[in-house]
Amino acid sequence: MSAFAPIVLLAPLAGALADRYDRRLMMIIGDAGSVLGLGIILTALSSPRPSLAWVCTGAILSSCLAALTEPALRASVTDLVTEEDYVRASGLLQLASAAKYLLAPAAAGFLMPLVGVRGLVLLDTSTCLVTVVCTMTVRRALAADAPQRAATQSGDDHGFLAGWRTIAASPGLRTLVTLMTLATLAVGVIQVLIKPILLPTVSTSEMGVIETVAATGMLVGAALVTAWKSAQPTTLLAAGLAGSGAAMVLVPLGPGAWWMAACGFLTFASLPLSQAGAEVLVRTRVDNARQARTWGTISLVTQMGYLVAYLCSGVVVDRVLQPLLEPGQALSTSIGAVIGTGPGRGAALLVGLMGLVMALVALGVHLRRRRLT
């Protein structure tokens, strides 16, 4: 929570700052400043009696400064590439994000016995410094464009709520943000419920393998987006939502752990398509001078999908669906005859229902695609 909450809550403010000042400078400050927090963590871990309070303090400081980078990075795509390359750029960003969340834990698990926790913190610090050097190089290369961009922003609305106002002023943009939030809700539901679905039938080690296989889908999907640069954004959006929805609907229908792994892989492989489509539509709808604050607000809103999933999924399954799917209960002879009864079936049913919602939304996107462009 110390590392996650500041990035989400400060995103609108970070976006407003990135639109008011140089975006690459905001990224440099964010990455370089986060090193200070990592330094506090390293100092705390080096003491004879490490203090959890100091570790959390370092994580909060690092997260607060790192919050400056995400809106500036997303808005910088519009600065750096032409509209024809928006799809490819979105795919590359998602490829980097998927690699971070999939490869970094695996690398940490491999390196932990060799270098320990402090070694991992030092390695994390070094990656921040490499990022700073790369961003400084890009900033120097674009220095000639800075005066013109600054002139276009003079007198513009840079308030904390500017991103909200930009989204509220466009019905199409509001629809896109809603769809992106739905996608994060679906991911959150899968993340919360994959273990309850699998626990009755697989061991802990097998579960880890299945989760890795499913998460690998994000890398494949992001690579597909990067290669499919000529696709229309509405096509990507509808295809991604439909693919994720169909895969989630299949979750409660099949037997065994590897069925779940295949469905999870297809779900996560489809999500980058919908995300890329939505991102391109946002870029083409929002003026460049307002993009960072808009992305900051979108980040805050869409992360609410994860929050709802984390807070509500378990309650809905434990209090409503699972009791109804126990042998002899109301749904045991109807839906239970198709998906089975007993432990884990309520969680599988909720995943399937979420998939049905996403499939219907994909149909709506396809039918109303002209209104989104």
Give dist(CA 245, CA 351) in Å, integer: 9
pLDDT band at 194 (very low <50, low <70, confident <90, very high): confident
- The per-residue pLDDT for range 18-59, each reduced to its tens digit, is 888 888 889 999 989 888 989 999 998 888 888 888 988 988
Question: Of 146-160, 204-218, 250-264, 303-317, which gets the smallest average pLDDT?
Answer: 146-160
CA distances from 329 to 134, 255, 322, 335, 343 (A): 60, 22, 10, 11, 13
Burial track 250-286 (b if 16+ CB lie within 10 A, e otherwise) = bbbeeeebeebbbbbbbbbbbbbbbbbbbbbbbbebb
Q: What average pLDDT does the structure give for the chain?
A: 85
**Rounded Cα–Cα distance for residues 53 and 41 (Å):** 10
Residue whose pair of structure tokens reads 């697989």 in the numeric block: 202
The structure tokens 């600054």 sit at 150
Q: Is the pTM of this model over 0.85?
A: no
Model pLDDT, residue 158: 56
Cα angle 227, 231, 236 (rounded to 5 degrees) comes to: 100
> What pLDDT, on the 0 to 100 scale, is given for residue 152?
46
233-242 pLDDT per residue, tens:
999 999 999 9
255 φ/ψ angles, rounded to the nearest 5 degrees: -95, 155
pLDDT of residue 341: 84
Give the whole-angstrom CA distance, residue 271 versus residue 189. 14
Q: Which domains does the chain have, with CATH numbers?
A: 5-83+114-153 (no CATH), 162-372 (1.20.1250.20)
Q: Which residues contact 324 (CB under 8 A, 6 or more apart)?
A: 330, 331, 332, 346
Instruction: Retrieve residue 234's tokens.
Output: 């509405």
pLDDT at 130 over 60: yes
Taking CA 235 as the corner, what is the angle to CA 233 and CA 241, rounded to the nearest 5 degrees?
A: 100
The contacts of residue 267 (CB under 8 Å, 6+ apart) are 186, 190, 214, 217, 243, 244, 247, 248
